[in-house]
Amino acid sequence: MGVATITPDDPLLQFAGFVNLRRTRERASMDRYFANDLRGAFSDGPAQSPGTRVWWRTDAEEVAIVLRYTGGLPPGRCSERCAVTNAGECYAADTCRNRCDVTLRVDGAAQPAATRHANGEYAGEERVVWRAVPARAAEREYEVVMPWGAVVELVRLELRGSGWGAPRLLPPPPARSFVYAAYGDSITHGWCGATPYPELIAARHGWQSVNLGIPGMGAVGGAHGAAIAAVGAQLVSVAIGINDIFWCGAVGEPLRQTLVGIRARQPRVPLVVVTPTPSYMDGKRCTRPDGGGETLEGIREQVREAVRARWRGGDTSVYLVEGPTLVPFSMLVEGLHPGAGGMAQLAANLNAQMGLSPLTLAVPTCPSLAVELGGLTPRGRVALFYGSRAAQPEAPAYELKGDMVGACGGTVLMLRPLRYFEGTADGGGRATLRPGDGVATDTHGCEDALVQALDLSSCTPSRLALAADAAGRGPHGGTAAERIAAVHPPPPTLHP
């Protein structure tokens, strides 16, 4: 049997999604120390590299990858039952599940829990083996994606074949050309979830994500904008400020500095700013030593004002997304971080609010409200929901029940609906729905009416739109997708 050992410095091994990468014959390690000041950084967060991909192509019949767990808290170990705090304790041990195992794919297909240990404990070197099917050698593409909850190094690959010659690495598939950079805190990092939302969004479109979410970090400003821009991404999101309520810090000015720093190097990149998502701190007020204070809603308003300042200055490529619409409080495992299901819903809704959902929504006329939908399942059923902006609660995200939408139960709407009704798509996946007199009766007209659609076959959501803002602007009007389409080919239409 032919055998080949591939060291991490082999030029045919490809890496992407990292901030810092060190490759030698002995190991490849990644981290995210992208600036000197990562204020509030928590545990091993900056040393972890969630979403970093390693990929290669080979004709081997058997492939083994050797990984090494090297985290400092605790040293060289990772437990799925314990997301470790700075004090060495388990964070929300009863509800917050850590992610230790890497994601594995062969020819793009995920391999089910190939590295997962029954006891959820990982330590030192771990060896993972794939056997090609059929057994005879064939060229295959392999991919490893690093988790959010462990510091993992690549030690080596081991290739085996049944012939006389040793199997080999082949020229790799091309790198993903479109990069999405997501800057934020532990929610962006993925804490308590299964797969972080930047990775989920990128996977929908065949993009590469770069996760710049650092657990515990607050709004810093300074050099962070330049560091974000240095990634060279074609789409950037910024979701920061939720931690600042704990030390009653100001968010507006450091966020303004961060946005200025991004614009200095990337003046036209689509820039999506997300206000803090729901938290158990909603409705509470922090107090500073000088007697001043702030609420989480006040921090959201600081974020909004930083975006409005960009708009007043003529920046037409910055977009505001309201975090409380993306995930409901009921999907937070301890009142702060989304679990696996909540993270998936947050990703789907943020994807839609950036204008990237395959289900497009346009309002050709209002009043006499009409809603045009595209990208639906051909001849499938669709539900249109509408509500009143004035009547929305502070945390409007709403988990649908199965008795309303059948198999789409558990899907999260971005509004509290007053009513909904259903229609059917044509053979091209299009539908035009006219809510009728109910909108005028239940809301205060176009300036107040919110609309969102849901494909009842795929459970894919559209964006949430205010009728007055969307009227006459086309399916991507006022979203990041509008700017992306002007510069890059549109992403493929993929259903989750």
How far apart, in whole angstroms, are the C-alpha atoms of residue 137 and residue 267?
A: 49
- C-alpha distances (whole Å) from 323 to each of 208, 273, 331, 396 are 23, 9, 14, 10
- Alpha helical stretches, state H, 56-174: none
E strand intervals along 207-253: 208-213, 235-239
- C-alpha distances (whole Å) from 259 to each of 235, 245, 253, 298, 316 are 14, 21, 10, 19, 13
pTM: 0.94
Is residue 330 within 8 A of residue 184, CB to CB? The reply is no
Reduced to 3 states (helix: H, G, I; strand: E, B; else coil), residue 213 is strand
* Residue in the block written with tokens 């004090």: 87
Q: What is the largest CA-CA distance in the chain?
A: 79
CA 153 to chain centre: 23
Find the mean pLDDT for residues 256-282.
97
Residue 73 has pLDDT above 90, yes or no: no
- C-alpha distances (whole Å) from 209 to each of 102, 110, 175, 227, 320 are 16, 17, 12, 15, 20
* Residue in the block written with tokens 């009043």: 367
Whole-number pLDDT of residue 114: 52
How far apart, in whole angstroms, are the C-alpha atoms of residue 111 and residue 128?
A: 11
| pLDDT above 90 coverage of the chain, percent | 70
DSSP 84: B
Pair of tokens at residue 68: 């090494």
Is residue 211 within 8 A of residue 51, CB to CB? The reply is yes
* Residue in the block written with tokens 């981290």: 31
Cβ-based neighbours of 241, under 8 Å, separated by 6 or more:
218, 219, 251, 255, 275, 276, 299, 300, 302, 303
Pair of tokens at residue 126: 């771990």
Whole-number pLDDT of residue 441: 57
> What burial letters (b/e) apply to 349-369, b meaning 16+ CB within 10 Å?
bbbbbbbbbbbbbbbeebeeb
Phi, psi of 274 (to 5 degrees): -115, 125
- C-alpha distances (whole Å) from 386 to each of 26, 112, 413 are 58, 39, 10
How far apart, in whole angstroms, are the C-alpha atoms of residue 158 and residue 179?
A: 30
Residue 201 has pLDDT above 80, yes or no: yes
* Residue closest to 182 by CA, chosen among 206, 156, 158, 201: 201
How far apart, in whole angstroms, are the C-alpha atoms of residue 3 and residue 5?
A: 7
Residue 29 has pLDDT above 80, yes or no: yes
Query: pLDDT band at residue 283, thresholds of 50, 70 and 90?
Result: very high
DSSP 95: T
For 405-416, how does the pLDDT look when each residue is reduced to its tens digit (9 = 90+)? 888 999 999 999
The Cβ of residue 458 has, within 10 Å, a number of other Cβ atoms equal to 17
For 365-394, how does the pLDDT look when each residue is reduced to its tens digit (9 = 90+)? 888 888 999 999 999 999 999 999 998 998
Find the mean pLDDT for residues 334-343.
97
Is residue 199 within 8 A of residue 179, CB to CB? The reply is no
Find the mean pLDDT for residues 340-349.
97
Residue 478 has pLDDT above 50, yes or no: yes
How far apart, in whole angstroms, are the C-alpha atoms of residue 113 and residue 128?
A: 11
